[in-house]
Amino acid sequence: MGTGNVERRTILKVAGASMATLGLAATTGCGGDSGTSADGTVTIRYSWWGADERAKRINQSIALFEKKYPKIKVKTDFQDYASFWEKFQTQAAGGNPPDVFQNAVGFLRKYDKRGILMDLKSQIDAGNLSLDHFRAGVTKVGEVDGKQLGIPVGSNTMALVVDKKVLAKAGVDPQPGWTWDEYFKALKTIHDKTKVPGDTGYFGIMYLYDLYLRQNGKAFFDKDGLGFEQTDLTEWWTDGYNRVKAGIITSPKTVEQDKPKSSLSAGHAACEFTWDNFTVRYSAEGTSEYGLAPIPTTDGKDTGQYLASLMLSASARTQHPKEVAQFIDFMVHDPEVGKIMGYDRGVLATTDQFDAYKPTDAVGKEIAQYEQDTAAAGVLGAITPHPSGADTVEAAFLRISGDMAQGKTKVSDAVKQFFSESEAAFQA
């Protein structure tokens, strides 16, 4: 399930929004209306984003579901990430969204505000959908304002992916509790000793900046908008720009030239922050040995981390709420489905599936171990619910930080532009 065909800007943009490995194959299955046939068979529509590999796994899972529930048929539809949300927005505006669909935290408030999402608590209370046996804390990702708007299928958390060979050559050995000062010092050491830049561009990753802010008593988002000030971002981006100029961060031009590879797997950096389950892409793309390292801290303990998740949501307009709930329940709890899906959408969210699937590859084992170690460290907090417009804000953060790093816009102007675009997104 490599992500070698995903260009880096997309994977970072989508990392927050999708929380899972993606491909850019724009393949569409059959759409069509859901309904009930004369013999009582119900048809529901299920849409998701991802590549062909994910589609194969999901279709295998659906075959198992239809075998168990012969009176429920599932029509499928999938695209790449950008095409999925374009189509979904059109369907939602026309009052015809799919009955059940893949979702992410950045879209919950946006579509709840428009009355598109079903509060699944009614189906949980009716016994058609269970919230039992989920790994600690993960169901909170789909909870907004007391409503259960999404059911997680897989979880992930931010991590630092490192080129083990380059770090060993530089004598850098990250340990839990290391500080940002130690991290930035390590980047300089790596560059001085190996001539390889330390990091691919940490300052443009919204979800990493969120962790830094959380370590300092703030957050990227609060309920209604941004949870930080212009002075905060000015400091973050000024430091980032200076490190690019000093050569300890990969040149943005090199990052562009390396696409669709990451500059880490291209050998032009020693580290990159991303979601832990994306680690598979580096092994698929690169020739070195890659591993996961701890998130730097401010106080030597608190990383600000939380479990994020891809999830399944249901349409508030579905004519078949019970069948949709049974489908979601099967997809998140059935052990065979867990074995089929593996870590395609993150580390499996329920203990039923997590225990059923044992990764055999080194990368998969390391991802599972990283999440277990992070949970055991007691540092995981709850994700901050994202306001409506968060998806647009995240894309703006990545784009504007890129312009700033390339010197196309001054830091002060970049900060003003970001706050201005964010304000507009929240009001849309």
Comparing 8-155+314-374 with 158-305+384-427, is the CATH topology the same? yes
pLDDT attached to residue 23 = 34
Structure tokens at 52: 């062909």
CB atoms < 10 A from the CB of 301, how many? 12
Q: What is the rounded CA–CA span in Å between residue 136 and residue 371?
A: 11
Q: Which DSSP symbol is given to 249?
A: B
One-letter amino acid identity for 3? T
pLDDT attached to residue 163 = 97
CATH 3.40.50.300 fits 158-305+384-427, yes or no: no
Q: What is the rounded CA–CA span in Å between residue 292 and residue 303?
A: 15
Q: Which of 329, 320, 324, 316 is nearest to 40 (CA)?
A: 320
Full pLDDT tens readout for the chain, 428 residues:
343 333 333 333 333 333 333 333 333 344 445 677 778 899 999 999 988 889 999 999 999 999 999 999 999 999 988 899 999 999 999 999 999 999 999 999 999 999 999 999 999 999 999 999 998 888 999 999 899 999 999 999 999 999 999 999 999 999 999 999 999 999 999 999 999 999 999 999 999 999 999 999 999 999 889 999 999 999 999 999 999 999 999 999 999 999 888 999 999 999 999 999 888 889 889 999 999 999 999 999 999 999 899 999 999 999 999 999 999 999 999 999 999 999 989 999 999 999 999 999 888 899 999 988 998 888 899 888 799 999 999 999 999 999 999 999 999 999 999 999 999 999 98
Q: What are the tens digits of pLDDT across the range 167-194?
A: 999 999 999 999 999 999 999 999 999 9
Q: What's the CATH number for 8-155+314-374?
A: 3.40.190.10
Structure tokens at 319: 């004519």
pLDDT attached to residue 1 = 38
pLDDT attached to residue 258 = 93
CB atoms < 10 A from the CB of 38, how many? 5
Contact 212, 240 (CB under 8 A): no
pLDDT attached to residue 428 = 82
Q: What is the rounded CA–CA span in Å between residue 129 and residue 121?
A: 9
Whole-number Cα distances in Å, 67 to 38, 263, 352: 20, 45, 20
What is the layout of strands, in order, in the sheet containing 158-163?
A: 271-275, 158-163, 290-293
pLDDT attached to residue 249 = 98
- How many Cα neighbours within 13 Å face the side chain of 399? 10
CB atoms < 10 A from the CB of 197, how many? 26
CB atoms < 10 A from the CB of 290, how many? 22
pLDDT attached to residue 278 = 85
Residue where the block lists tokens 């953060």: 397
pLDDT attached to residue 52 = 86
Give the predicted TM-score (pTM) of the model. Answer: 0.84
Contact 386, 221 (CB under 8 A): yes
Q: Where are the domains of the chain?
A: 8-155+314-374, 158-305+384-427
